[in-house]
Amino acid sequence: MLALSPQSHGALMSHSDQSTSKNILLATMLADDFARLRPYFQRVDLNRGDVIVPANGPVDYIHFPEGGVISIVSDTPGKGRTEVGIIGKEGVSATHLLLGASDTPHESFIQVGEATALRITTEKYLAAIEQSDTLRTMLLRFVQALMIQTAQSAATNAHQRIEARLARWLLMCHDRMDGDEIALTHDFMGMMIAAERSGVTVTLHILEGAGMIRSTRGRVLILDRAKLTDLAGEGYGVPEVQYRRLVAPFGKGW
């Protein structure tokens, strides 16, 4: 597991940070609920490969990402790893704790981008939730949106062609990035959408030929989001609409 390093500007947040935070949950929760968490926050760097939720183990810290993309991954013996969900600045890590479970078989790690997160010890986080029904309700709304995303991923991977699956996944990453460039390899994309590397390479060429993206070594630049959305079809949009209805505006092109 790669360690997350605190930034040099210290642990405590200023009183103005709720309104300026890039994490949507923190920026939109009730001021009283934010105040329960604020004294215990520490800003840390997130780097690709950092594990923030180990599989089948205790969680020491909860992270509210301010950027980047975090993969929630299932590891099946003999079959490899498959992404079952992603979160970014719209969410919070370790959602199983909100449902009363102490651990999860799924690992969460930073897959795209370098960013920061506000982290809090699990003990302080759960104590704040015990003190506030409104905080618990808001966080559970995010859990609901994430569960819908997970179900949508299963349906998409089962029924849609690889072109639509890749388009959906690129759109989901794009929603969570500040710019239009996504740094990732063909091998990694294959793991995320349950496809062979060779199939990902061919599909990227198809999307590039249609003017949707530009693909270079280890990077994908989004050129035409509307075309990607048309290609993704019903696979993209349902979780995003639910998040917007339950929590707050989120994503690009809405």
Closest CA to 1 of 49, 47, 44: 49
Segment-wise mean pLDDT, segments of 10 residues, the chain, 254 residues: 44 58 94 96 93 96 95 83 90 97 95 89 98 98 96 85 89 92 73 66 88 88 95 92 94 76
Q: For 91-119, how does the pLDDT look when each residue is reduced to its tens digit (9 = 90+)? A: 999 999 999 999 999 999 998 877 899 99
How many CB atoms are closer than 10 A to CB 179? Answer: 9
What pTM value is reported for the model?
Answer: 0.88
For the chain, domains (ranges, CATH) are: 17-154 (2.60.120.10), 161-246 (1.10.10.10)
Q: For 35-60, how does the pLDDT look when each residue is reduced to its tens digit (9 = 90+)? A: 999 999 999 999 988 999 999 999 99
